[in-house]
Amino acid sequence: FIDASPFKPGAMQGYPHLLSDASLKTLRDRHVRFVDATQAFDATAGQVYWDNCCHYTRLGNEVLADVIAGAVLAPEVRWR
């Protein structure tokens, strides 16, 4: 996080709630798919954001697209 970003407080407070809610059994029971991409960029060398908010560089978009595609194509996915 960039300390000066006006989005830091909301992200720091909001993401733990999103992750907690996404792991609830009720979401799985309702067949709600959730992909936790919070660690998608951890092993990526290079700049993935072009601003201090949420806009990705080309590299960031490619990495995120790979995460999403991997989740969609995962063998355990059962689409209804």
Q: How far is Cα 6 from Cα 50, in angstroms, rounded to an integer?
A: 16
Task: For residues 49 and 58, give the distance between their C-alpha atoms in angstroms, rounded to a whole number.
Answer: 9
Banded pLDDT at 63 (limits 50, 70, 90): very high
Are the beta carbons of 38 and 19 closer than 8 angstroms? yes
Spatial distance between the Cα atoms of 56 and 72, rounded to a whole number of angstroms: 21
**Are 77 and 70 a contacting pair, CB within 8 Å?**
no
Task: State the pLDDT at residue 78.
Answer: 57
pTM over 0.75, yes/no = no
* Rounded Cα–Cα distance for residues 7 and 67 (Å): 24
Does the pLDDT at position 80 exceed 60?
no
